[in-house]
Every structure is written in structure tokens, then in C-alpha cells.
Amino acid sequence: MNREEIEEIIRNLGDIPTRIEGKSVLVTGGAGFLGSWICEVLVEQGAKVICLDNLVSGLKSNIYPLMDKANFTFIQHDITQPIFFDEPLDIIMHLASRASPFEFEKYPIQILKANTLGILVALGIAKKHKARFLYTSTSEVYGAATEIPTSEEYRGNVNPIGQRSCYDEAKRCGESYVIAYKMEHGLDVRIARIFNTYGPRMRAEGVYGRVISRFVEQALSNKPITIFGDGTQTRSFCYVTDQIEGLLRLAFVEDGSGTVVNIGNDEEITILELAKVIKELTKSKSEMEFHPLPKDDPQRRKPDITKAKEILGWVPKVRLREGLERTIRYFREKK
């Protein structure tokens, strides 16, 4: 675990940490990439954290350092199955869902279930405890967006029967459930539409790999860097410390019920350029290898983050090259 980066998040959170201390927080998907960073900051700031995860894509090693903390509990459980808590809960953060595009093809039903049946179980817990509920939705709800940069007002351009539909439509359905619980039960709910996030603890192997972790691993081992399509498609990548700060601001801001907000970095880059930068920073001898573009892969993705700036007082701080250097350092040390 990177102490300095945890301290950096806490510093950047301003006065939010005082609101974290003493709160009971359930984090579903807490052993995953983003969930484990959230758990660590919360534990450090004196929250009582229950991390629930079935470990389908998360790793116990992500949370090992937290296991002996008195204010941390790990429960191995599938959130699509009922579970009850006797002790009071203040906040539920629902992150449980596989999130890599390769997983969309291999485990579409699990993904649909985590964001429909799973969110129902999680919302039921929130209702019983009158707890605040934060849902990690995604930029994928916009599909192949025709409005760039994409604001929260944009309603989406999604193929309901396409290869990515298990994720896109499940997240859209998840958002609908969240809003329904606010309307019908008056629950305090918040939705984060997360744009591509990267950094330490991201997995690179097999179906878990995402573009940056895959490129970094390939570059470090001088293997071909595999680009889908001609690499002219763009993405905007947010470094993990910025993402975690945004999510925690959203979870702990007062009077934030009903907020739906993009959290991502608006520095846009083509995939080919990204591959070149990673090759340069790793001093790799890798060649570029081009593969067919998967169906429904969005051509451009860039968030409009005006709302996050206004409502959360949040701006991404880590520039892409800096974040890539930190990520490359992590993957080098892991080898």
C-alpha cells in the first residue's frame, strides 16, 4: 500500500475527513481496485468499515494490510444474495461489479446481476438502516456519446443488445433503482458516473486487464502493445487518487441527495498516443500490434466535469504523464 498517496488523498479532501470519523460504512466490492483504496482511506480516518466482496475480480491481497485493524471487517459474500446487518450503518457504497471490457464478454450475467439483483440487496440494507447510498455508475451509461465533452444531461446512445449491453444497460438499470428508492422511500442517494480510472492495484492479467494496465505490462516485458482498431479512438484517464477523492467528496458532502455527477479527468488522448507515451516512459522495445476493434467501442470519451467542480469543489490534480509514471513504478515493483 502506498502511504504517501493515501495521505495525499486525505490532504486533498480538505474538511471531509472530520465527517468520516466514527461513521459506519459498508463498501461492497471493497477488495477491488477502487474499493480497496476507499476502504483504506476510510479506515485511516477512523470510520468503521465493513468490506463485502465475493472476490470474483478483487483480491484479498488488496486489503491484507487492513485485516488486523480493529475498525475493519471483511465479509466474503455475493451481494446478489440476501445479507443482514444488526449493527447500525450510516453509508453504503455499492461498487460490487466486474468492470473490465474482457469480463463483459465472459461474465455478462454476473455483471447484470451485480447491478440489478445486487443493487436491490444493497438498497434494501440502506433502507433498513436509513443509510446514505452511493452507487458507482459509469461513463458507459452514455454509450457511444454524440455530445463531447459529455455532461450529466446527456441521455445516452446505448445498444441494448450489443456486446457491452450487460454493463451499460445494467448500470442504467442500477441508476434507475437508486432514483426509485429516493422517490419511493426518501433514501439519501448519490450516483457517480466514473470515467476510465487507472493506477496501482489495477489488474493487468487475462480478462481483468484494462487498457493502461495491459499496455504497461506489455511494455515492461517488451511484448507487443496490443491496440484495438487504428488507435484513433480517445479516452480520458483519471488517476486513482483523484477518483477516490471525488468519490469520497460525493459520499460525505452534506445536502447531496439525488446528485448524479461525472467523476473523471477531462484530459483526452488517443489510444495510439497513450501507447506511445507508455512505451517512452518505460523505455520499452515493444512494437505496436493492431487488432480488430470490438463492436460498439465508443470512438471518443471525455467528461464534462463542470458539475463536479461546482458541487463537490473537486478537480483532478494528477496529470496523465505523472499518473502513468506512478503506475509504471507500481508495476515494476510488483514484477
x/- map, 155-194, ligand NAD, by CB under 6 A: ---------------------------------------x
The residues, any chain, with a CB within 8 Å of residue 254's CB and separated by 6 or more, are 19
C-alpha closest to that of 166 among 89, 101, 240:
101
**Judging by beta carbons within 10 Å of its beta carbon (0-12, 13-18, 19+), is residue 153 exposed, middle or buried?**
exposed
x/- map, 115-154, ligand NAD, by CB under 6 A: ---x-----------------x-x----------------
Residue 57 or 150: which CB sits closer to ligand NAD?
57
Centre a 10 Å sphere on the Cβ of residue 185 and count the other Cβ atoms it contains. 13
Residue of the chain from 9, 20, 58, 215 that contacts ligand NAD (CB under 6 A): 58
Q: Cβ of residue 116: shortest distance to ligand NAD, in angstroms?
A: 11
C-alpha closest to that of 196 among 260, 285, 266, 277:
266
Per CB under 6 A, does 259 bind ligand NAD?
Answer: no
**Judging by beta carbons within 10 Å of its beta carbon (0-12, 13-18, 19+), is residue 36 exposed, middle or buried?**
buried
Q: Cβ of residue 252: shortest distance to ligand NAD, in angstroms?
A: 18
Residue of the chain from 12, 80, 234, 262 that contacts ligand NAD (CB under 6 A): 80
Residue 78 or 152: which CB sits closer to ligand NAD?
78
Query: Would you call 250 helix, strand, or coil by DSSP?
Result: helix
Per CB under 6 A, does 96 bind ligand NAD?
Answer: yes
C-alpha closest to that of 9 among 229, 251, 220, 254:
251
According to DSSP H, which parts of 46-130 are helical? 101-106, 108-115, 117-129
Q: Cβ of residue 120: shortest distance to ligand NAD, in angstroms?
A: 12
**Residue showing cell 515493444:** 286
HEC-encoded secondary structure of 253-297: CCCCCCEEEEECCCCEEEHHHHHHHHHHHHCCCCCEEEECCCCCC
| Catalytic positions | 167
Residues near ligand NAD (CB under 6 A), total: 28
Residue 284 or 302: which CB sits closer to ligand NAD?
302
Per CB under 6 A, does 196 bind ligand NAD?
Answer: yes
Q: Which stretch binds ligand NAD (CB under 6 A): 66-74, 76-84, 251-259, 283-291?
A: 76-84
Task: List contacts with ligand NAD (CB under 6 A).
Answer: 28-29, 31-35, 53-58, 78-80, 95-99, 114, 118, 136, 138, 194, 196-197
